Chains A and B, each alone.
Chain A
């Protein structure tokens, strides 16, 4: 097992963006949960803002298995949950499917995130964006999504916050506009990959870590190239990480 791998203990702040890309065969949901739980378990007063189109009950159910009670965190103000789906829907039309550009707008979502960050001034803020890709898939223009991403990074710099954003990739050799923007702005790019040989019982997937364009000359950043990707195996609420070929000793 690799101790301290992706335990999100030493995150860079000041608007740093950690980009996590994944595939439907190897979802990176576990990494988002890992980051949130690590942040909320610290006694140093971190504040977490989760932006997700998934219902909060799912986040709570996973968290409670790791000993983190999100209800308590919400009550104490260390956690804010921004429902992406509700923010993009009109109050009178909860399931609006209109193609009218005025019906769907990321401005309201952005304002809600800004309000959450401004509500508390103590503690280190930490923003988790569950799914950027589906914003574009469900009707928003690539330009608006990329503007939203840039605005969010700027907002994070203003509040000295860290952003962890998940972007689904579709297997195309050419990333779309939102992905290109994210790659350009990120400090760290964590790539969660399925096994090339298909699903296995012993190994769930692999993780590679790349230096982002915004990392500059940060020598402390540890990269893990694809050729030496770390493998992981999931349980119901956590993950084990190990080097290739060492799985038998761990599992």
Chain B
């Protein structure tokens, strides 16, 4: 399995590590190991990640933001959440199990499926390793990406503690509307980042700052036309370039996460963000649910981060995408899908079942 070599002189804050293809840039975990893999190791600092969720009946983008926030809080990163309901979002974040000892990372519902399959495997194949469709969460990686479980909720006393200490900032402007509010938010983010830089000007490392905007341009934000949203994304992207210790995750509501907004909308969003992915759930399409019963939606990559490079690190280091493995043979990229088990959100490679499936017999 791939193992990254870190330069001996690397000094990075907990929860960050040098980008494998550009060591001068630090990356930080999103909280989801498989998403980190797709991004090439994590979210590069001074970059933005746009997470789209075009399905109106699910909230996967919000779930990804909770992972992002929880990962920041547990690693003592500074976290800013920009939303009128930021408090409710943070209170519902997942957390780690009480004791961080060795524990099974396989959820119970996944284990039951494995036991069912074992009965049908012929004896000559029993010794073979099971076909892996996602990256595993090794114990060595737990310092970088904590093993959050969806069954665990962040303790209220931790939320109170990080709020009082200033580690967590909830940003919203009720008195302003539309464009003025966007401007105020950008100014506030700039103030937070410049203050953080000033406070740690003599330190060797600066604690990373995570900015979460879980529902940009939702109805609470007022009337915002598409060009204003794009300008905001561009402005935020430029703002992050000035601060090497900050990163942002932004999401749009479902109705703004589709190409139907205007011509080439998703492409425009991708161009004006550093990276853009979407979790397209099957909730609105029963035919896809029947076709892919083991997954909850398709995972699309619109743009990947290229920190100080022409090629995304993901092309070389992502196991899920499979491009690195296919470089010599000229094969293509794997199709990806996601599922939310009882304990975690996972992105996996998507493969069509054998025609008829293993449980059906056709004559």
Which residue of the partner chain, among B238, B263, B322, contacts A55 with CB atoms under 8 Å? B238
Tell me the bound Cα distance from A88 to B257 in angstroms: 27
CB-based contact B234/A235 at 8 Å = no
- Known contacts: A97-B231, A138-B230. The answer to whether A24 contacts B332 by CB under 8 A is no
Contacts of A197 in B (CB 8 A): 332
B10 interface contact, C-beta 8 A: no
A216 interface contact, C-beta 8 A: no
| Minimum Cβ distance to chain B for residue A193 (Å) | 14
| Minimum Cβ distance to chain B for residue A92 (Å) | 11
| Minimum Cβ distance to chain B for residue A190 (Å) | 16
Which residue of the partner chain, among B182, B183, B231, B333, contacts A139 with CB atoms under 8 Å? B231
CB-based contact A170/B264 at 8 Å = yes
Stretch of A39-47, A56-64, A107-115 on the interface side? A56-64
Contacts of A200 in B (CB 8 A): 323, 326, 330-333
Contacts of B325 in A (CB 8 A): 201
B85 interface contact, C-beta 8 A: no
Which residue of the partner chain, among A57, A138, A248, contacts B234 with CB atoms under 8 Å? A138
Tell me the bound Cα distance from A166 to B24 in angstroms: 28
Which residue of the partner chain, among A33, A57, A251, contacts B310 with CB atoms under 8 Å? A33
CB-based contact B310/A30 at 8 Å = yes
Stretch of B70-78, B95-103, B288-296, B301-309 on the interface side? B301-309
Main secondary structure of the interface of A (DSSP, over half): loop
Contacts of A201 in B (CB 8 A): 315, 322-333
| Minimum Cβ distance to chain B for residue A53 (Å) | 7
Which of chain B's residues 217-262 have a Cβ closer than 8 Å to chain A? 225, 227-228, 230-232, 234-235, 238-239, 241-242
CB-based contact B302/A24 at 8 Å = yes
Which residue of chain A has the shortest Cβ distance to B178 in the bound complex?
Answer: A97
CB-based contact B309/A62 at 8 Å = yes
CB-based contact A234/B332 at 8 Å = no
CB-based contact A97/B310 at 8 Å = no
Tell me the bound Cα distance from A90 to B331 in angstroms: 49
Contacts of A23 in B (CB 8 A): 267
B-contacting residues of A (Cβ < 8 Å)?
A: 23-24, 29-30, 33, 53, 55, 57-58, 61-62, 85, 93-99, 131, 133-134, 137-139, 168, 170-172, 197-204, 234-239, 247-248, 251
A-contacting residues of B (Cβ < 8 Å)?
A: 21-22, 24, 179, 182-183, 186-187, 190, 225, 227-228, 230-232, 234-235, 238-239, 241-242, 263-264, 267-268, 270-272, 302-303, 308-311, 315, 321-333
A sample of 14 more A-B contacts (CB under 8 A), given A138-B231, A171-B264, A171-B267, is: A24-B270, A95-B235, A96-B183, A97-B183, A134-B271, A137-B230, A137-B268, A138-B227, A168-B267, A200-B323, A201-B322, A201-B333, A202-B326, A236-B309
